[in-house]
Amino acid sequence: MILDPLPLTPDHDIPAPVLTELTALYASNRDFHALSGDFPDPDDIRPEQVAAALADELLVPGAEVLLARSEGRLVGIVITLASHPDPVDPDPWIGLLMVDAAAHRKGYGRQLAAAVEDRFRAAGRAAAVRLAVLDNNPGALDFWTALGYETIGYGRDRQFDRPCTVLRKELAV
């Protein structure tokens, strides 16, 4: 799997072919979007909505959008934060990890999580990484705990004030 930053045009737009791929990936995860409420209609996710969502993510200082490709095909996306907006939180965060639904249960999620952890280690940015899972998404909680993430607290997400579980994983050097 190859993990690269989201390419942008000189005007900071997502190139049309990449946006088409990203829209298909987001649309393939209808059940997640129905749980999260991130899009008004999880059955009709449009390119301009995906572009706007990613543009909002990139406005956050230290945010990075990474695309995962296997055999040239987009299989996943991950959004990371170098640090949480709360200054007492020293860890980088995984804000989103999504795999194309057609590629679920093929190991891409595990590979993508490991690749992100490796990037954090290689950059010397952290001894640990955090993320939050929406409480209405037990499948995601099972996924992350199977990867060694441990619950460290409960809270509400900053964007929509939804209940979530905060997880953390130590990154061994």
Domain residue spans in the chain?
A: 2-170
Q: Is the pTM of this model over 0.85?
A: yes
Residue 41 and residue 26 in contact, taking contact as beta carbons nearer than 8 Å: no
pLDDT tens per residue across span 106-154:
999 999 999 999 999 888 766 899 999 999 999 999 999 999 999 999 9
Return the CATH fold of 2-170: Aminopeptidase (3.40.630)
Q: State the Cα–Cα distance between residues 108 and 70, nearest whole angstrom.
A: 9
Q: State the Cα–Cα distance between residues 138 and 63, nearest whole angstrom.
A: 26
pLDDT at 173: 67
When computed from its CA atoms, the radius of gyration of the chain, rounded to whole angstroms, is: 15
pLDDT at 125: 65
